[in-house]
């Protein structure tokens, strides 16, 4: 891989749940969910023992409890997760300054040029995983390739506590066999749309020309055309720009009255949202309100405001 970049994607294994099992030995080897309870709420993370029963993150906790009657629910402790994430981040930075965090539990590293002059990205990934285990007691998986997209896919191939390499020579053959929904930038809606054209795997996508893809999928057509051929030029960006910021809350009891909903927005959610804006020195132009009903249907409404940011004052705009 001498003429290619060397990219590593490190992904912690069931991070939130693993931290809880680490700090509470009585939870070890038991099905555990972080977030929610047996009556209501949403699962933020699930241990591998819980995943065997079909429990997944973003699943309603009530459904999770039905799938796994012995499921243990614990409240999230984000400060603890951040604390461990900072330890992991220091390990990354000891190898390269080109670290792009995606969340508390995963990041891209460009180790083409690294602080130790090591030639093998595979060995670097192995060292990093070992150091994470030694310093935190947690397992991590890693993917290695010549671009971010392939590295991220590779990190999922040998989970948990493993790593995989996708070389330039093997990339296209690998991508031809990859289900279309696994491709970067293709969600459930787009995958369904592609299925309508008989596109289910990378091989199917590869049969379509660039003009066809751009005529059907607009600007994304070029992205799809390139990515199925292993072309993804996005660089590892240490100072990744935050594109959104929000706050949400799952209530113990349903909010019914309009006055109750408005009071909660004004007195609880909006102040917390404003604190996060200040803490991140951020501002935005589009506001989105998301409401999830007790049957788990989701409604969103957005509005773009044209305001002068330097003169924006919370007290004047919070209505």
Q: Read off the CATH number of the domain in which 141 is found.
A: 3.30.70.270
User: The tokens of 65 are what?
Assistant: 């409890």
Q: Give the CA radius of gyration of the chain.
A: 22
State whether 180 and 52 are in the same domain.
no
State whether 123 and 161 are in the same domain.
yes
- Residues in binding site: 11, 105
Share of the chain above pLDDT 90, in %: 70
Q: Is the pLDDT of residue 315 over 60?
A: no
C-alpha triplet 161, 166, 232: angle, nearest 5°:
115
State whether 153 and 187 are in the same domain.
no
- Residues in binding site for Mg(2+): 11, 105
How do residues 195-250 score in pLDDT, each as one tens digit? 999 999 999 999 999 999 999 999 999 999 999 999 999 999 997 655 566 666 65
CA distance linking residue 121 with residue 166, whole number of Å: 11
* In-domain check, residue 53: yes
State whether 265 and 305 are in the same domain.
yes
Residues with catalytic function: 106
Please provide residue 145's backbone torsions phi and psi, each rounded to the nearest 5 degrees. Answer: -165, -170
Please choose, from the candidates 242, 241, 228, the residue with its C-alpha nearest in 3D space to the C-alpha of residue 186: 228
Full domain range(s) for residue 183: 171-227
* In-domain check, residue 239: no
Burial class (CB in 10 A: 0-12, 13-18, 19+), 89: middle
Q: What is the pLDDT averaged over residues 103-129?
A: 97
Give residue 241's pLDDT: 58
Mean pLDDT rounded to a whole number for the chain: 87
State whether 11 and 157 are in the same domain.
yes
State whether 65 and 136 are in the same domain.
no
How do residues 50-89 score in pLDDT, each as one tens digit? 999 999 998 999 999 999 999 999 999 999 999 999 999 9
Q: Is the pLDDT of residue 128 over 80?
A: yes
State whether 209 and 178 are in the same domain.
yes
Please choose, from the candidates 175, 194, 196, 198, the residue with its C-alpha nearest in 3D space to the C-alpha of residue 186: 194
Q: Indicate which CATH number applies to the domain containing 209.
A: 1.10.150.20
């Amino acid at each position: 891989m001498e003429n290619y970049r060397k990219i590593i994607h490190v992904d912690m294994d069931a991070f939130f749940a693993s931290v809880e099992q680490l700090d509470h030995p009585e939870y070890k080897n038991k099905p555990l969910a972080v977030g929610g309870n047996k009556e209501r709420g949403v699962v933020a993370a699930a241990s591998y023992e819980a995943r065997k029963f079909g429990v997944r993150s973003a699943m309603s906790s009530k459904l999770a409890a039905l799938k796994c009657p012995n499921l243990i629910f614990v409240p999230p402790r984000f400060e603890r997760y951040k604390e461990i994430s900072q330890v992991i981040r220091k390990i990354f930075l000891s190898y390269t300054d080109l670290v792009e965090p995606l969340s508390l539990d995963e990041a891209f590293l460009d180790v083409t040029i690294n602080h130790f002059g090591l030639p093998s990205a595979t060995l670097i990934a192995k060292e990093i995983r070992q150091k994470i285990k030694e310093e935190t007691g947690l397992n991590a998986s890693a993917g290695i390739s010549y671009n971010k997209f392939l590295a991220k896919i590779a990190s999922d191939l040998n989970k948990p506590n493993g790593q995989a390499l996708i070389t330039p020579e093997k990339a296209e053959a690998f991508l031809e066999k990859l289900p279309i929904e696994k491709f970067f930038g293709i969600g459930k809606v787009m995958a369904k749309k592609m299925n309508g054209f008989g596109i289910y795997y990378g091989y199917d996508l590869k049969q379509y020309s660039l003009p066809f893809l751009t005529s059907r999928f607009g600007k994304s057509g070029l992205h799809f055309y390139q990515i199925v051929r292993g072309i993804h030029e996005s660089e590892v960006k240490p100072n990744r720009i935050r594109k959104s910021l929000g706050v949400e809350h799952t209530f113990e009891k349903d909010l019914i009255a309009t006055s109750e909903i408005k009071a909660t927005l004004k007195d609880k959610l909006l102040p917390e949202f404003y604190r996060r804006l200040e803490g991140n020195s951020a501002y935005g132009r589009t506001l989105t309100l998301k409401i999830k009903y007790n049957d788990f249907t989701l409604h969103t409404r957005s509005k773009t405001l044209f305001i002068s940011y330097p003169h924006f004052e919370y007290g004047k705009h919070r209505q």
